[in-house]
Amino acid sequence: MSEQDRVRWDARYATSAAEPEGGPPPVFAAHVAEFPTAGTALDIACGQGAASFWLAQHGLDVLGVDVSAVAIATARAQAQRLGVTGRCRFAVADLDDGLPAGPLVDVILCHRFRDARLDRAVVSRLVPGGLLAICVLSEVGGSPGPFRARPGELTTAFADLDVIAAGEGDGQAWLLGRRR
């Protein structure tokens, strides 16, 4: 990512330390039973870590990564406050360079971040039966834009997963699927 974009994200997070609401991203709330209660998870572009905290509280060992060092510092501080540091690690990483190296994981969560260049690496990083939970901005019910998924983009991109549920509308697209 460009230095200018990174500075912009850092500035945004420097003025907004969000209090985590304590549940999964709302779009996945009806599908909590699909998430394992043990194993490992990777939270891509985790921001201040809200979804990572939920995954940790759900029983998973989580690595959250984001390009913003400010967001990651806030996530680490929140993890201390919530008492989940044993289950939650955070790292600064620029996903323009690909996924950070690491072992296969049981869950990959990607909430409100889209980089189609990562799609194959994301699928390959899951154990067989592993769960992808992805939610991105969409052109469907929203305006066109460079970071918005086109109609049907997620179901096409992840057609090789066993799709559990998916939807798009109101400017949002999401998909839950398992690696075969």
Ligand X SMILES: C[S@@+](CC[C@H](N)C(=O)[O-])C[C@H]1O[C@@H](n2cnc3c(N)ncnc32)[C@H](O)[C@@H]1O
User: What string marks each residue from 67 to 96 as x (binds ligand X by CB under 6 A) or -?
Assistant: xx--x----------------------xxx
Cβ-closest residue to ligand X? 47
Applying CB under 6 A, which part among 34-42, 55-63, 107-115, 170-178 lies near ligand X? Answer: 107-115
Applying CB under 6 A, which part among 34-42, 54-62, 65-73, 124-132 lies near ligand X? Answer: 65-73
Q: Closest CB to ligand X among 144 and 159?
A: 144
Q: Closest CB to ligand X among 12 and 180?
A: 12
Applying CB under 6 A, which part among 46-54, 73-81, 124-132, 162-170 lies near ligand X? Answer: 46-54
CB of 71 vs ligand X, minimal distance in Å: 5
> HEC string of the chain?
CCHHHHHHHHHHHHCCCCCCCCCCCHHHHHHHHHCCCCCEEEEECCCCCHHHHHHHHHCCEEEEEECCHHHHHHHHHHHHHHCCCCCEEEEECCHHHCCCCCCCEEEEEEECCCCHHHHHHHHHCEEEEEEEEEEEEECCCCCCCCCCECCCHHHHHCCCEEEEEEEEECCEEEEEEEEC
List the Cα angle 61/42/118 in 5-degree steps.
Answer: 165
CB of 111 vs ligand X, minimal distance in Å: 4
Question: Tokens at residue 60, please?
Answer: 């998973």
For residue 29, the Cα-to-chain-centroid distance in whole angstroms is 15
Applying CB under 6 A, which part among 55-63, 109-117, 122-130, 163-171 lies near ligand X? Answer: 109-117
35, 113, 158, 174: residue in contact with ligand X (rule CB under 6 A): 113
Query: Taking Cα atoms as reference points, which of 71, 54, 168, 40 lies closest to residue 114?
Result: 168
Report if residue 56 touches ligand X, rule: CB under 6 A: no
41, 66, 133, 148: residue in contact with ligand X (rule CB under 6 A): 66
Contacts to ligand X by CB under 6 A: 1, 9, 45-47, 50, 66-68, 71, 94-96, 111-113
